[in-house]
Chains A and B, each alone.
Chain A
Amino acid sequence: MLESDFQKKNRFFLNMGPQHPSTHGVLLIVLEMSGEYVLDPQPVLGFVHRMHEKMAESRPCVGFMPNTARMDYVCALPYNHGYVSLIERKAGIEVPERAEYIRVITSELNRVASHLLWLGAYLLDLGAFTPILYGFDDREHILDILEDITGSRLTYCYYRFGGVSRDIDDKFVASTRAFIKRLRERFVIYEKLVTKNIIFIKRTENIGVVSPDMALRYGMTGPNLRGSGIAYDVRKNEPYSVYPEFDFEIPVGSQGDCLDRYMVRIREMEQSLRIIEQALDRLPEGPVRAKVPKNIKLSPGDCNFAVEAARGELSYYLVGDGTSTPYRLKVRVPSYSNLSCLPELGRGILLPDLVSILGSFDLVIPEMDR
């Protein structure tokens, strides 16, 4: 493929980004190319770097709550969840059961919304202009449901230490159930329009194959890893909140190509709907917020908490020093590790395939740059 001398001599650099329709966010990938083949893709990060970790060190731990949503704005509630659970683990706060159920329901709704956005954006990259509008149509319903109780459409700051800030009402339960029913019918449309489309299959099959060993060396997690056949999901592997009480499966792919990652996310949406249904059925009564001291003092020592965000394993690592301000907060974001395999994965591929791979990784750049 790259054997001709002409091709070896005629290399040029192409900047994909930072403003580009299909790098999802402000990402620059410097491509060394020969004709249509990419020889060496090097991502350049840092365009959206806002230094959240330093912000965490300069305000009390309760003041960092809004920042968690700004890191990954597409799927912000698991970020909230990880942070409040981290502080609860450090300070030994118990959360009432109703609050845990509400957290699970809203996190899973947010996960579905994130995957719907990913679906639309991925197909837009591949050239199909229509599914993004269908996906956004469904996503609007979720955003409306969540707006009623949280007050925001995108950057949620709904969880508090010891619970959630507001209780859900019957309207929420009814509209969520109606939405689940509607989305199940819409999945049939997606199946027919997208999954069985021969052009789509040819654009995604056997492209961007990630082997399990490569995934381990780069620390990939989430649907990218599950597409390669490893059934690692923090909700099952390292259960937190009330996830042990629900019955759901972890979809895995077999080959690790783009089509497998696509199928894993589609199936994950269906499993999330299952979790929401079970949680709504079993929702207990009770308070939604425990009484916690105003100034939570973080005892000296470090603590770690991992949750399953939409893109993979999200870990918060905190070093406390006895005051209410964290001494060090490290946020380990999934997209960071997922993208770092691009220089190895993208060697010698075609440019349209690179676009397909980037789309299938489901990257959100602000969460990478923090």
Chain B
Amino acid sequence: METISILPPELIRMLIAAIIIISFLFLNAIMMGYLERKIAGHVQRRPGPMEVGFHGILQMVVDGVKLLGKELLIPFNVDRTLFRVAPLLSFTPVILPLLVIPFSEKLQARDLSLGLIFIVSMGSVNVMALLVAGWGSNNKYSMFGAMRAVAQSIAFEIPILLSMLAVVLMCNTFSLKEIVGAQQKIWFVFLQPVAFLIYLIAGVAETNRAPFDLPEAESELTAGFHTEYSGMGFSLFFIGEYTNMFIVASVATVLFLGGWHGPNLPYGEYLGIVWFFLKVYFLLFLLIMIRWTYPRVRFDQLLNFAWKYLVPFSLVNILITAVLVKL
């Protein structure tokens, strides 16, 4: 007898994938938080967390418990709805891009034919979350941070798009699976080094990481847009930020570093994920090191850099790519 299933198998598969991805999100945030503190420590010639667990491995777990237990302060005279909604707005849209990223040949939640555009559009929603947080905090410093975040994000989206466009011109497709597939012979980082560099720099700026972390510039704005948040609201912002970083690194891996391609492994279609993660975490390691090494740029210098340098360079890059592809 035919089992009549109410839910089509595709939907079940997607649900399982979504659950795995969301739990991976939190795990990733914990791992990246630990990684950040250890790397920060070693860059600053100190060991980092050492007490809790072996070499501080359980530090982030304990911190999570602490943050969960904190009182959710809502300051006087804020817009209560906006204040509460902002962390959720920051956290939710970052889950969606993970559904289209090809972790390995067979491991991808859903392969959209416009996967790349989907990812970029989800990235823009993050700006709104910052704006809502800044406005809803009823605090001039937070408003400052939010304004800066908006200007910065708008400015750096264009170089991101243009550098992605260079890769798309070479592959003729927006689907991430096919882009990875096209890198079997040679990774695109060797064919498009300029685009790779521009994408990484603009990605750092999109996720508000130092040296472009003006929206949360600690020494000028006393923590910027998330000044008034405590406990879980604060940690949702940070999980959102770390996930954003992960997405930036994954997209860079997919577009330029060959995705899950690597020396052959048994069950290669599934275990390609190992190479994927190695590459992603290498990029994340770079991003974290950069944060702890460089001072912050000034805001108008940042925007100058985006509009006067990154955009022209990426346009020229596309032009050259288009010409070469045509030939």
Minimum distance in angstroms from A177 CB to a CB of chain B: 23
In chain A, positions 129-176 with a C-beta closer than 8 Å to chain B are 129-130, 133-134, 137
In chain B, positions 107-152 with a C-beta closer than 8 Å to chain A are 140-141, 144
Which A residues lie within 8 Å of B211 (CB)? 127, 199
A130 touches B297 (CB 8 A): no
**Interface size range on B against A:** 20 to 34
A248 within 8 A of B: no
Per-position contact with A for B290-310: 1 when CB-CB < 8 Å, else 0?
Answer: 011111111111000000000
A199 touches B294 (CB 8 A): yes
Binds B, one of A74-82, A230-238, A334-342, A348-356: A348-356
A203 within 8 A of B: yes
Docked pose: A202 CA to B44 CA in angstroms: 23
B297 touches A20 (CB 8 A): no
Which A residues lie within 8 Å of B23 (CB)? none
B219 touches A134 (CB 8 A): no
A48 within 8 A of B: no
Which A residues lie within 8 Å of B43 (CB)? 130
Per-position contact with B for A304-342: 1 when CB-CB < 8 Å, else 0?
Answer: 000000000000000000000000000000000000000
B218 within 8 A of A: yes
Which A residues lie within 8 Å of B295 (CB)? 123, 126-128, 197, 199-200, 203
A12 touches B140 (CB 8 A): yes
Minimum distance in angstroms from B150 CB to a CB of chain A: 13
Docked pose: A12 CA to B140 CA in angstroms: 9
A133 touches B45 (CB 8 A): yes
Which B residues lie within 8 Å of A247 (CB)? none
Which B residues lie within 8 Å of A199 (CB)? 211, 294-297
B210 within 8 A of A: yes
Which A residues lie within 8 Å of B44 (CB)? 129-130, 133-134
Per-position contact with B for A351-366: 1 when CB-CB < 8 Å, else 0?
Answer: 1110100000000000
B217 within 8 A of A: yes
A352 touches B299 (CB 8 A): yes
A350 touches B298 (CB 8 A): yes
Minimum distance in angstroms from B298 CB to a CB of chain A: 5
A124 within 8 A of B: yes
Which B residues lie within 8 Å of A213 (CB)? none
Docked pose: A20 CA to B227 CA in angstroms: 12
Contact residue among A12, A22, A36 (Cβ-Cβ distance under 8 Å from B219): A22
Which A residues lie within 8 Å of B297 (CB)? 199, 202-203
Which B residues lie within 8 Å of A21 (CB)? 218-219, 222
B40 within 8 A of A: yes
B220 within 8 A of A: yes
Docked pose: A130 CA to B295 CA in angstroms: 9
Per-position contact with B for A10-39: 1 when CB-CB < 8 Å, else 0?
Answer: 001010000011100000000000001000
Closest to A125 in B: B219
Which B residues lie within 8 Å of A197 (CB)? 294-295
Docked pose: A2 CA to B211 CA in angstroms: 28
B222 touches A128 (CB 8 A): no
B157 within 8 A of A: no
B219 touches A124 (CB 8 A): yes
Docked pose: A137 CA to B43 CA in angstroms: 13
Identify 16 new A-B residue pairs, CB closer than 8 A, beyond the known A127-B210, A127-B219, A203-B296: A12-B140, A14-B140, A22-B219, A22-B220, A128-B294, A129-B44, A129-B291, A130-B292, A133-B45, A199-B295, A350-B300, A352-B217, A352-B298, A352-B299, A353-B298, A355-B219
16 A-B residue pairs with Cβ-Cβ distance under 8 Å, sorted by A, are: A22-B220, A124-B219, A125-B220, A127-B219, A133-B44, A133-B46, A193-B293, A197-B294, A197-B295, A199-B211, A199-B294, A202-B297, A350-B300, A352-B220, A352-B296, A353-B298
Residue ranges of B at the interface with A (Cβ–Cβ < 8 Å)? 40, 43-46, 140-141, 144, 210-211, 213, 217-220, 222, 291-301
Would you list the 7 A-B pairs with minimal beta carbon distance, nearest first?
Answer: A127-B296, A128-B295, A133-B44, A126-B295, A22-B219, A127-B295, A125-B219
